[in-house]
Amino acid sequence: MQIVGYETGAGTDREPSLVVSNGGDIEHESLAVGHELAYTLGDRHCAGAVDGTGHVSCDDPAAPYCESHDSTWICARCTGTCLKAEMDCYREHAIYIAAFAPATFKVGVTGRSDPTVRLREQGADRGAILQYVEDGRIAREIEARIAAETPLPDAVRVSRKIDGMSRSIDEDAWRRLLDRFDVEAIHDFQYGFDLDAAPIAETLASGTVLGTKGRLLVLERSRARFAVDMRSLVGHDVEPGATPRALQSDLGSFGT
């Protein structure tokens, strides 16, 4: 068995899940709140490719990309080939600002018809839609200008997202930032769970699911709470059963 992907559930009526290959057949391991996840992680290697009929595994030991995998995915990191421009550049794009508690902000663009889906995929706490433009080229030019002039980054580290998971948005900082723009819409996102302290960053696939926030999975195990970047799970071989290895304790993250 191998974890070959994940779904955040954003913009769909499907619950979040891990995509697991079992002998080439695809299974969706639920990440619904309260679900008991119980896998032990093994070696990590290429995740292969998922097509319309199942999973195509790869014998290349390089993780997590190979020629077979890259032929299916839009951006091939190992070759530098990118089909994204010809696939999505010629449709309407939105320029947005995403906010992550307490005061981390980024600028981005999306070609999705509903830009809030992209914001939820990233686990944003707030989102502001600045404007819509006719294609991706124009959107990226505006994004680059905003990034240089504000300045705002176009990416946020996972560790910063985890650090802010138990905190609220700094309203003053958010308002001061938005005052610099003509904003079309503002969105506030809720993910269905509250934490009284930041969870511990870990790579594991066993514990009780407390919820997901974008690609971050929050698990509780032995009275401690852990945040797992689901992208870090992709490519791992897995065996059924909770991992026996000891994990860092975080009694402070457990509500009393």
pLDDT digits (tens, 9 = 90+) for 202-250: 999 999 999 999 999 999 998 999 999 999 999 899 999 877 766 665 4
Q: Give bridge partners of residue 25 from the DSSP assignment.
A: 22
Taking the model in full, what pTM does it have?
0.86
Flag whether pLDDT at 79 surpasses 60. no
Is residue 11 assigned to a domain? no
| Kind of pairing between the strands at 200-201 and 224-229 | parallel
Q: Which residue from 177, 164, 194, 192 is spatially nearest to 97, judged by alpha carbons?
A: 177
Flag whether pLDDT at 86 surpasses 80. no
Q: If you search the block for the tokens 């995509």, which residue do you land on?
A: 19
Is residue 179 assigned to a domain? yes
How far apart, in Å, are the Cα atoms of 90 and each of 117, 136, 167?
Answer: 19, 6, 38
Mean pLDDT of 53-75: 62
Flag whether pLDDT at 68 surpasses 60. no
Number of domain units in the chain:
1
Is residue 133 assigned to a domain? yes
Listed ranges 65-69, 72-76, 89-93, 138-142; the one with the highest mean pLDDT: 138-142
Q: Which residue from 41, 37, 18, 28 is spatially nearest to 209, judged by alpha carbons?
A: 37
Flag whether pLDDT at 128 surpasses 50. yes
Single-letter code of the amino acid located at 49? A
Distance between CA atoms of residues 97 and 43, nearest Å: 37
Residue numbers of the domain that contains 100: 85-188
Is residue 160 assigned to a domain? yes
Task: Please report the pLDDT score of residue 194 as a whole number.
Answer: 87
